[in-house]
Amino acid sequence: MAKVFIEDLQGEFVEEFIWPSVQANAIYEDRYLLGTSVARPCIARRQVQIAQREGAQYVSHGATGKGNDQVRFELTCYALYPEVKIISPWRIPEFFNRFRGRKDLMEYANEHDIPVPVTPKAPWSMDANLMHISYESGILENPKTHAPVDLYLMTKNPEDSPNTPDVLEIEFLKGVPIKVINVVDGKAKDSPLEIFSYLNEIGGKHGVGRIDIVENRFIGMKSRGIYETPGGTILYQAHLDIETFTMDKEVRRIKQGLGITFSELIYNGFWFSPECAFVRDCIARSQENVEGKVQLSVFKGQVYMLGRESPKSLYNEELVSMDVQGDYDPCDASGFIKINAVRLREHHRLQGLSGSKK
């Protein structure tokens, strides 16, 4: 007996997966906002919940045997349902010997009238979710080949995007957006899913969030991917801004390291792991005062910060002003510098002794 479950997980995807990633400024290898990676544990969690409820001992997925997604799906399954058995056709010889690659499979689909979105006109594979679309393989496997201009489905080509910016004000509380207002037309959104969808809309309209990268997969090979993440890109920039505005400098340094760790864990499929839960809790702790409003403009593929304000800001206009002294004695800086130089001067002395100047 077969059952099919098609469910709408958009709400939990935004609140439980995207929001923590925003708090973390999660980004893999300095560029990839993890749009696919962060969706996998959300999907697989629901899959095993249903499997457990239905008494199913097996789950399956269609991810290839060379990619990250197989790892992400399966680690989630094993973490939440340790006894589960997983069927992964692309790793079963009977399957992959018959279908040596995507080409064979497309032929099969063609023969059997199964509709597939990859056509000779779009010879690559894509994966779409609320957060982003990724394009890979096919002609994109040659890292030198430029992406076709009509590849992107979620964002407008910046060359064709509006000639006038949109200006948004995003309000954060505890490091997550709680409201977005379009300053130009007054439109406002205040539920997580609506906020994120609206940012996708505005980002998409202005061609924001396209990247073309070669990245390192968990399984040790490099792959080329083209991604578009319109709303995520706006939020990444906006959160960075309000965070640095409100968070203590040294907390920020430590949290930056945790954010990198968190990003690697997400990428590698360890969302449901003790270390990821630990890091997520630490990052959440760091966001207590990350609160306030950021104004930004979105235009021709770019996000520009315009200004920010916060009731929790550690920014002290008087302290930093070049025009008033504030509660600060400039003479202290001399001592600060001199003490910081103690070590450098000692090192110079030693170099003199050892005759090597570097």
Asked if 151 touches a second copy (CB under 8 A), the answer is no
Residue 319 Cβ vs a second copy, minimum distance, rounded to whole Å: 5
Of 56, 129, 158, 194, the one binding a second copy by CB under 8 A:
158
The span from the CA of 284 to the CA of 278, in Å, is 10
The span from the CA of 168 to the CA of 163, in Å, is 16
Note the residue count of the chain: 358
Taking CA atoms, 97 is separated from 77, 91, 101, 105, in Å, by 26, 10, 9, 11
Residue 74 Cβ vs a second copy, minimum distance, rounded to whole Å: 5
Residue 1 Cβ vs a second copy, minimum distance, rounded to whole Å: 28
Asked if 324 touches a second copy (CB under 8 A), the answer is yes
Closest CB to a second copy among 14 and 24?
Answer: 24
Of 137, 185, 229, 298, the one binding a second copy by CB under 8 A:
137
Asked if 348 touches a second copy (CB under 8 A), the answer is yes
CA torsion through residues 100, 213, 23, 199, sign? negative
Residue 115 Cβ vs a second copy, minimum distance, rounded to whole Å: 19
The span from the CA of 124 to the CA of 292, in Å, is 42
Q: x-or-dash pattern for a second copy, window 221-260, by CB under 8 A?
A: xxxx---------------xx--xx--xxxxxxxxxxx-x
Cα 75–chain centre separation: 19
Asked if 85 touches a second copy (CB under 8 A), the answer is no
Asked if 25 touches a second copy (CB under 8 A), the answer is yes
Asked if 108 touches a second copy (CB under 8 A), the answer is no
Stretch that binds a second copy, among 14-22, 45-53, 194-202, 312-320 (CB under 8 A): 312-320
Structure-token pair, residue 139:
């002609």
Stretch that binds a second copy, among 7-15, 37-45, 53-61, 321-329 (CB under 8 A): 321-329
Asked if 272 touches a second copy (CB under 8 A), the answer is yes
Cα 192–chain centre separation: 16
Residue 119 Cβ vs a second copy, minimum distance, rounded to whole Å: 15
Closest CB to a second copy among 83 and 111?
Answer: 83
The span from the CA of 132 to the CA of 62, in Å, is 19
Asked if 317 touches a second copy (CB under 8 A), the answer is yes
Q: Count the residues of the shown chain that bind a second copy, applying the rule CB under 8 A.
A: 137
For residues 229 and 253, is the Cβ–Cβ distance under 8 A? Answer: no
**Strands of the chain, DSSP E:** 58-60, 85-87, 125-128, 133-136, 166-173, 176-182, 188-189, 210-216, 222-228, 292-299, 302-309
Asked if 342 touches a second copy (CB under 8 A), the answer is yes
Asked if 94 touches a second copy (CB under 8 A), the answer is no
Residues 177-196 within binding reach of a second copy (CB under 8 A): none
Of 94, 113, 150, 159, the one binding a second copy by CB under 8 A:
159
Residue 215 Cβ vs a second copy, minimum distance, rounded to whole Å: 7
For residues 106 and 112, is the Cβ–Cβ distance under 8 A? Answer: no
Q: How many other β-carbons are positioned within 10 Å of the β-carbon of residue 117?
A: 8
Of 187, 278, 298, 355, the one binding a second copy by CB under 8 A:
278
Asked if 355 touches a second copy (CB under 8 A), the answer is no
Residues 280-309 within binding reach of a second copy (CB under 8 A): 281-282, 285-286, 289, 295, 299-302, 304-309
The span from the CA of 293 to the CA of 79, in Å, is 38
Asked if 46 touches a second copy (CB under 8 A), the answer is no
For residues 60 and 89, is the Cβ–Cβ distance under 8 A? Answer: yes
Contacts 24+ apart (CB under 8 A), 150-153: 151/122, 151/124, 151/226, 152/210, 152/228, 153/126, 153/128, 153/228
Stretch that binds a second copy, among 1-9, 45-53, 54-62, 350-358 (CB under 8 A): 350-358
